[in-house]
């Protein structure tokens, strides 16, 4: 019962946020919609026993990533209202068709799948509990190599971002003085 209420509330919140992202003409509003969507999803994660993921979602996504987005929006200029008329012929119609096909296809697949939660009778299987301990143990044992590689990826991304930021036409990458 509680789950149903949360699903309905947070689900509609996430959808509303998504619609705002897509529809808002001002990028700042899109960012706000994004924020709503992310937070709603974080709540849903909690219901789905993924506590750590929910926390990371709020801290990293809603906190860091979205702040970065907002920063760039401010940098580029907030007042640039976008012209919403479509210039590419047939683009909107085809996108609508594609969206429809994907949505209908996904719905058909999901409901034909008749997914259900793991039966409680299987006592040997602990209900996954996304605590820091449980997830951390999993990440640093079974998936340790993946963690290292993503760490490397993050480093590369950081270096790349800095290189892009300080790129000069002469091709020299040097810190600003």
Partner 1 sequence: MIELPTEALWLVIAFPLGGALLLHFAGRWLGEPLAGYLASAASLAALAVAAVAAVPFFTGEGHPSQSLLWEWMPAVGASFEISWDPLSALMTLVVTGVGSLIHIYSVGYMHGDPRFARFFTYLNLFTASMLTLVLAGNYAMLFVGWELVGLCSYLLISFWFTRPSAASAGKKAFVVNRIGDFGFLIALMLIFSTFGTLSYTGVFDRAAQELSGWAPTIIGLMLAAGAVGKSAQIPLYVWLPDAMEGPTPVSALIHAATMVTAGVYVIARSAPIFELAPVASGVVAAVGAITALWAATIAIGQSDIKRVLAYSTISQLGYMFLAVGATAYVAGVFHLMTHAFFKALLFLAAGSVIHAMGGRQDMEEMGGLRKAMPVTFVTMGVGVVAIAGIPPLAGFWSKDEILSVVFNQGGWYTALWLIGLITALLTAFYMFRQFVMVFLGKPRWPEGVTPHESPRSMTVPLVILAILSVAGGLVNTPFRLGLEHFLEPSFEGVRLGHPPEGVGLVLVLAALAVGAGVVGAAMAFFAYHRPPEAWRRFQSGFGKLWGWWENAYGVDDAYGAMLVTPGRRLSEQTAFGVDMKVVDGAVNGVAWLVQATGRLIRPAQSGLVRQYGLWFGLGLVALLIWILVRGVA
Partner 2 sequence: MLEVTPGWYMTLAAALFVLGLTGVLVRRNALVMFMSVELMLNAVNLTFVAAGRAAGVLDGQVAVFFVLVVAAAEVVVGLAIIVAIFRRRETASVDELAALRG
CA atoms within 13 A on the CB side of 153: 6
Q: 3-state SS string over 56-69?
A: HHHHHHHHHHHHHH
Q: Which is nearer to partner 1, 105 or 137 (CB)?
A: 105
With CA atoms as reference, report the closest residue to 62 among 17, 96, 118. 17
With CA atoms as reference, report the closest residue to 36 among 48, 49, 24, 25. 24
In the bound complex, what is the minimum distance in angstroms from residue 177's beta carbon to partner 2?
18
Q: Which is nearer to partner 2, 122 or 177 (CB)?
A: 122
Q: Which is nearer to partner 2, 120 or 177 (CB)?
A: 120
Q: Which is nearer to partner 1, 100 or 153 (CB)?
A: 100
In the bound complex, what is the minimum distance in angstroms from residue 26's beta carbon to partner 1?
20
The interface partner of residue 35, options being partner 1, partner 2, none and the CB cut-off 5 to 8 Å by kind, is none
CA distance 79 to 70: 13
In the bound complex, what is the minimum distance in angstroms from residue 88's beta carbon to partner 1?
6
The answer to whether residues 40 and 63 touch, using CB atoms and an 8 Å cutoff, is: no
In the bound complex, what is the minimum distance in angstroms from residue 103's beta carbon to partner 1?
11
The interface partner of residue 19, options being partner 2, partner 1, none and the CB cut-off 5 to 8 Å by kind, is partner 2
Residues in contact with partner 1 by the rule CB under 8 A: 88, 91, 94-95, 98, 101-102, 105
Which tokens belong to 124? 């040997």
């Amino acid at each position: 019962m509680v789950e149903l209420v949360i699903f309905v509330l947070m689900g509609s919140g996430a959808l509303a946020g998504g619609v705002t992202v897509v529809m808002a003409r001002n990028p700042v509003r899109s960012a706000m919609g994004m924020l709503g969507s992310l937070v709603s999803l974080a709540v849903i994660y909690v219901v789905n026993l993924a506590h750590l993921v929910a926390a990371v979602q709020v801290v990293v996504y809603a906190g860091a990533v979205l702040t970065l987005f907002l920063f760039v929006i401010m940098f580029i200029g907030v007042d640039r209202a976008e012209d919403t008329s479509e210039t590419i012929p047939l683009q909107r119609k085809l996108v609508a068709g594609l969206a429809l096909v994907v949505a209908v296809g996904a719905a058909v697949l999901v409901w034909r799948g008749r997914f259900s939660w793991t039966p409680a009778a299987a006592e040997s299987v602990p209900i996954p509990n996304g605590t820091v301990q449980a997830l951390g143990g999993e990440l640093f044992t079974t998936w340790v190599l993946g963690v290292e590689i993503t760490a490397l990826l993050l480093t590369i991304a950081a270096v790349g971002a800095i290189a892009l930021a300080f790129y000069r036409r002469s091709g020299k990458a040097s810190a600003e003085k």
